[in-house]
Structure 1
Amino acid sequence: MARTSSGLHERLLASALRLFVSRGFRGTSLADIAADVGCSKASLLYHFSNKEAILTELLMPVGNEVFDLDARLAELDGEEAAVTAIQSFVGITLRFRREIKLLFDNLADVSCLPDLGVEAIDGIRDRLIDAVAGRSTDPRDRIAASIALGGIFATGAADLPYDDRTLREALLTGALRTLGLGPDRAGLDSELGKN
């Protein structure tokens, strides 16, 4: 059965993500990706003009989900904003563990992240911290929010030998404790029952 061009596109993305994570963004060439997939570099270049274009396409789904979360959080306040932000951010982190690892391990090489085409992405980190802090301006709440988000991000990037359910439970519980919220106040039992 002949492989379709769109099938090649997806295989190139899968290979690039795996190689970027294992070898690093800088340590992976276009020729490496093409060889891994079993196509010519010219075929790869038909789909992607350069490594940055591949990186952009790999990170676009993450950017879109974070942007959607940002929009949902804009209407929430207080504990509801904090809990929703934590639950959603944990979900995004677990869905995109390899992409998060790619970002975390290669921050120096991808410090000038490509334009993900997501409007209003500027300031999203501060808006997430604001939501996780429950819109509090107290420095202790904002620092705790930053710790919670950073901890989720770093843990998601780690190669921990645990299944998603165990990671989800630990991330939610740890982040909520950091914010001074108990898992029972966040409906953690019902959240965990979903997965």
Structure 2
Amino acid sequence: MARSSSGLRERLLASALRLFVQHGYRGTSLADIAADVGCSKASLLYHFSNKKMLLAELLLPASWEASKLIARLEHLDGRAAAVAATGGFADLSLRFRREIKLLFDNLGDLASLPELGVEGVEDIGEQLIDAMAGRSAEPDARVAALMALSGIFLTSAAELPYDDETLREAMTAAALRTLGRTGA
């Protein structure tokens, strides 16, 4: 009995993300994804013209949310920018932890990410570093911001035995210590 095409696109995306995380981007074929969902490869290709477009579609929501975070940080500076950027990036990282794990585990295979049509991705990291540094150009502040950003990114990709709230609090506190932004 054939499954309804209703929701097929969403099922394909969910399957692709799960399989990409489990087997890697390169280790997962379009045929694997179609078989997992129970549809033909032709049906998959009706929705996504190729594997890169499927990947781009998976990463777009995280990119959009990161852009919204950058917009919220735009008018903040100093401690306010650092605290808001740290908490906002921790929330974003936990919400999209499977996508981050996919990125982290497949960095070599995904080197062409800007070519996927995910606009402005390369600038988001710089803008977050700038906000976490409190808009300071000082090397100590910029290096600490890069360390805090990287730490949140890596921690969210790890498989730790903590619930999201515990993990968010710990990541945020550690990042703020790294930034020298503890206390009031």
Corresponding residue number in structure 1 for 2:107: 107
Give the Cα–Cα distance (whole angstroms) in 1 for the partners of residues 4 and 95 of structure 2: 27
Which residue of 1 is the match for residue 50 of structure 2? 50
Q: Within 2, Cα distance between the matches of 1:57 and 1:123?
A: 19
Runs of 4+, deviation exceeding 2 Å: 1-6, 120-124
How far off its partner does 1:15 sit?
A: 0.4
Please report the RMSD computed on the Cα atoms of aligned residues, expressed in angstroms: 1.5
Paired position in structure 2 for 1:84: 84
Do the aligned partners of residues 108 and 179 (structure 1) sit closer, same or farther apart at CA in structure 2, a change above 3 Å counting? same
Question: Secondary structure of 2:134's match?
Answer: coil
- Paired with 1:27 and 1:93, the residues of 2 have a C-alpha distance of 24
Q: Distance in 1 between matches of 2:143 and 2:122?
A: 20
1:26 maps to 2:26: yes
1:5: how far off? 2.8
Aligned mates of 1:93, 1:123 — CA distance in 2: 17
CA drift at 1:181: 1.6
Which amino acid letter does the alignment assign opposite residue 78 of structure 1?
G
**Given that residues 100 and 153 in structure 2 are in contact (C-alpha distance below 8 angstroms), is that contact kept between their aligned partners in structure 1?**
yes
How many equivalent residue pairs? 182
Aligned match of 2:174: 174
Change (3 A) 1:121 1:109: closer
Distance in structure 2 (CA, Å) of the matches to 1:52 and 1:131: 31
The percentage of counterpart residues that share the same residue type is 64
Once residues 161 and 26 of structure 1 are traced to their aligned partners in structure 2, the CA distance between those partners, rounded to angstroms, is 28
Alignment of 1:62-81 (within 5 A): 62-81=62-81
Report the TM-score, using the length of structure 2 for normalisation.
0.94
Once the two structures are overlaid, the 10-residue window that deviates more, 71-80 or 90-99, is 71-80
Displacement of 1:165 in angstroms is 1.2
**TM-score, structure 1 length as denominator?**
0.89
Gaps in structure 1 of 5+ consecutive residues: 186-195
Q: Which amino acid aligns with 1:15?
A: S
Aligned residue in 2 for 1:11: 11
